[in-house]
Chains A and B, each alone.
Chain A
């Protein structure tokens, strides 16, 4: 209780706040080298995805390579450029865990569109 009154919003401590802000501003200091390495990898991975199309790979090999390069690129951007690896886990989990809802939604709609496709083929024939 004593702690609450001492540090509650009614008694702001401007000096301490400013000091804290200054301390906070020193955060996310990383050597430039890290950024250049990630930058380079993003170029390489993009070129790889483009090559998948250019060479004309088809089927599961094409799709799995595209997914692999896509996820690697997304991971690098979120982790390093957006500094997620250096944030506390509470923030990282709050942002990243809800992504599973998207994956579930993809699953639901994949099943649904399969069904729609089957019905269309059944009743309307294959082509218009």
Chain B
């Protein structure tokens, strides 16, 4: 089937407020006038992913607030001893800053992509991937430490048994997202570096021409991973 070209449907001018939303949604063919199909689909995927993470966090809330056994104090559990002093949540704080830094480099990569600065875009994406990999590495370290201390999905030495189950489920699912993000960052960075988006080279699986918008769509996913961490950081580690 031939693609419905965006050009064949001229954008109507924006109406203010609700009238604009109703006009866009009730019009022919496209509800999302300025967003391409790939951007719209990424947003819709992220919405569904939000629901998955929400379900995990809500399950955690339910478990924590319904147990009669005291919840382990995350401030102490995730503390790290550095040069003899116990620092609460040190590793988690560093992980947070690493992930925020990676979000920043990704945002810059999107910007340089639209300027068609191939090399800078690829470099920034590789930096993002490196920071993401660092994050996953630190998470592996954290998991190892807790497992050595006796945390299991069915129990732990400090309190409510549900602690381990929710911890491994939530951070594991988030870590998986980061890992997948790193892999895709490397794939797209390679395409950018090779000039696929300048020469219009067809994608291997899709046989479609990509554009620098692919970098932005990749960025949406990456910022989402950072966004989820914001909620995990607040609700699981600090609450």
Residues of chain B within 8 A of A94, CB atoms compared? 31-32, 43-44
Q: Determine how close the nearest CB of chain A comes to the CB of B80; give it in whole angstroms.
A: 13
Count A-B pairs with CB separation below 8 Å: 193
A77 and B50 contacting across the interface, CB-CB below 8 Å:
no
Most buried by B among A52, A67, A109: A109
A117, B67: Cβ atoms under 8 Å? yes
Per the bound structure, the CA–CA distance linking A6 and B229 in Å amounts to 48
A54 and B68 CA atoms in complex are apart in Å by 27
A77 surroundings in chain B (CB, below 8 A): 103, 223, 226-227, 230
Query: B105-122 toward A: CB 8 Å interface, digit per residue (1/0)?
Result: 011101100110000000
Collect the chain A residues with CB atoms within 8 Å of residue B67's CB: 117, 120
Q: Contacts A87-B34, A94-B31: A66 and B234 contacting too (C-beta < 8 A)?
A: yes
Question: Which one, B146-154, B187-195, B211-219, is touching chain A?
Answer: B211-219
Cα distance A16–B8 in the bound complex, in angstroms: 8
Q: Which residues of B contact A110 (CB under 8 A)?
A: 61, 65
Residue of B nearest to A35 (CB): B107
Kindly state whether residue A91 has any CB partner on chain B within 8 Å.
Answer: yes
**B58 near A109 (CB under 8 angstroms)?**
yes
Chain A min CB distance to B207 (Å): 16
Provided the pairs A35-B108, A53-B238, A70-B230 are in contact, do residues A91 and B40 lie with their beta carbons within 8 angstroms?
yes
Name the residue of chain B whose CB is nearest to the CB of A50.
B93
Q: Which of A32, A46, A102, A121 makes the CB contact (< 8 A) with B50?
A: A102
B103 touches A81 (CB 8 A): yes
**Contact residues of B between 120 and 150, Cβ < 8 Å to A:** none
- Secondary structure at the B interface, as helix, strand, loop or mixed, is helix
A95 to chain B, nearest CB (A): 5
The 0/1 profile, CB within 8 Å of B marked 1, for residues 45-75 of chain A is 0100110111000000001001101100110
Q: Classify the interface of chain A: helix, strand, loop or mixed.
A: helix
Q: Does B20 contact A (CB under 8 A)?
A: yes
A7: chain B residues at CB < 8 Å are: 8-9
Does B169 sit within 8 A of A, measured CB to CB? no
Question: Across the interface, which residues of B come within 8 angstroms of A81, CB to CB?
Answer: 103, 106-107, 219, 223, 226
Q: Which of B25, B32, B68 has the most CB of A within 10 A?
A: B68
Interface pair A113/B69, CB less than 8 Å apart: no
In the complex, chain A residues whose CB is within 8 Å of the CB of B34: 24, 27, 87-88, 91
Tell me, rounded to whole Å, the shortest Cβ–Cβ distance linking B191 to chain A: 15
CB neighbours (8 Å) of A49 from chain B are 233-234, 238
Residues of B within 8 A of A (CB): 1-9, 14, 17, 20-21, 24-25, 31-36, 40, 43-44, 46-47, 50-51, 54-55, 58, 61-63, 65-69, 75, 88-89, 93, 96-97, 100, 103-104, 106-108, 110-111, 114-115, 211-213, 216, 219-220, 223-224, 226-227, 230-231, 233-235, 237-239
- Interface residues of A, Cβ cutoff 8 Å to B: 7, 9-10, 12-13, 16-17, 19-21, 24-30, 32, 35-36, 38-39, 42-43, 46, 49-50, 52-54, 63, 66-67, 69-70, 73-74, 77-78, 80-83, 87-91, 93-95, 98-99, 101-102, 105-106, 109-110, 112-114, 116-117, 120-121, 124-128
